[in-house]
Amino acid sequence: MITTHAFSQYPPFFFYNPSGNHYIIDYIVYHVLAEGKSKKNLAARLFRVLESISLEFKPQDEEFKIRLRALVLGLTQTYRYGLVRELLSEDGNAAPYLQSSTMQTDCLRAAALLGLPELYTEIAAAYTAPGAKELDIHTYPHAGLFLCSAFEYAAQGGHFDLVGKILDGLEEKGMLPIESHWIGAAVEAAIHENHEHIVRHLLQPKYEYSPPPGENSLIREAAAVDNPEMLKYLCDRLTVSLGDPMIMHIAAANNHKSIVELSLASGGDVNKTTGRWETPLAIASQHGHTDMVRFLLSHGAELGRGEHQQ
């Protein structure tokens, strides 16, 4: 059985390699369905959220399980696996997010991720009802099932119309342009799920996205997705060279030949090492990508290059 301790032991490239994601997701889904609301942890909170927004389904129904899996995917991408132990911990003190979060906020974000516009509208309207606290999409509470805004989760779910609905609502309130870190988070979530149309929409000049100096998380995320056109667009938009060594390393880890070819054609060095002295060839070999190993060797990759350097 995979343990939660093991989740924190993966090397950095695991975060850009989706091959192991299903183990983590299946592990959490199993616990949520098996334990339900019996424990005071984030898994129980996730169960309660889904139960609240899916009144027409029972836990044994396939649609309930499909929605649960989608929520778990969103949760693991937000946490980057770092808080999975807290998710399943029985110690309430280990999960402070339970103390200050509101079910309403959690359900709002869940509705955005699952693409339930009517439910989203209904919950959001409650924030603006007479006597209610107005919804502030810029608020970033360190609490709750989802740590980022509903805007990010709508983008991750690929719900273009809902993304537009949220942006229109912000514009009506005079809250555009949004701070760059919010746009960046939403774009990164859309990239991860290969929603290129949302990526291009959010990076329009009118939203004024500008990454911090040296920030390249969007390019790293795109290099892990097998979509050369989206990567080319992002590199052009963010003025990053397609030959950047980071791109080839991450593409090799994910077995994306088309991305490696694109990087090579743009001047990428097939023998460039990472900070850990690993070449694309070594990384592909570690992940068991035999075809990628053959491809890199055919394009000049050198055996043993960088393996024993310190």
> What string of DSSP letters covers the chain?
---HHHHTTS-GGGGG-GGGHHHHHHHHHHHHHHHTTSSSSHHHHHHHHHHHH-TT--TTSHHHHHHHHHHHHHHHHHHTTTTHHHHH-S-GGG-THHHH--HHHHHHHHHHHHT-HHHHHHHHHHHHSTTSPPP-TT---S-SS-SS-HHHHHHHTT-HHHHHHHHHHHHHTT-PSPPHHHHHHHHHHHHHTT-HHHHHHHTSGGG---PPTT--HHHHHHHTSS-HHHHHHHHHHTT--TT-HHHHHHHHHTT-HHHHHHHHHTT--TT---TTS--HHHHHHHTT-HHHHHHHHHTTPPTTTTTT--
**pLDDT at res. 128:** 55
Token couple for 158: 């690929």
- Alpha carbon distance 167, 148 (integer Å): 15
What's this model's pTM, rounded to 2 decimal places?
Answer: 0.77
pLDDT tens over the chain, length 310 residues: 333 333 333 333 333 444 456 677 777 788 788 888 887 777 787 888 888 888 888 888 999 888 888 888 777 665 544 455 556 666 544 444 444 456 777 788 888 888 988 888 887 776 555 554 544 444 443 334 454 468 888 998 899 999 998 888 778 777 777 778 888 889 998 998 899 999 999 999 988 898 888 889 999 999 999 999 999 999 999 999 999 999 999 999 999 999 999 999 999 999 999 777 789 999 999 999 999 999 999 999 998 765 544 3
Rg (CA), the chain: 21
- Alpha carbon distance 150, 173 (integer Å): 16
**pLDDT at res. 264:** 97
Asked if residues 2 and 14 have their Cβ atoms less than 8 Å apart, the reply is no
Token couple for 134: 């107005």
**pLDDT at res. 305:** 65
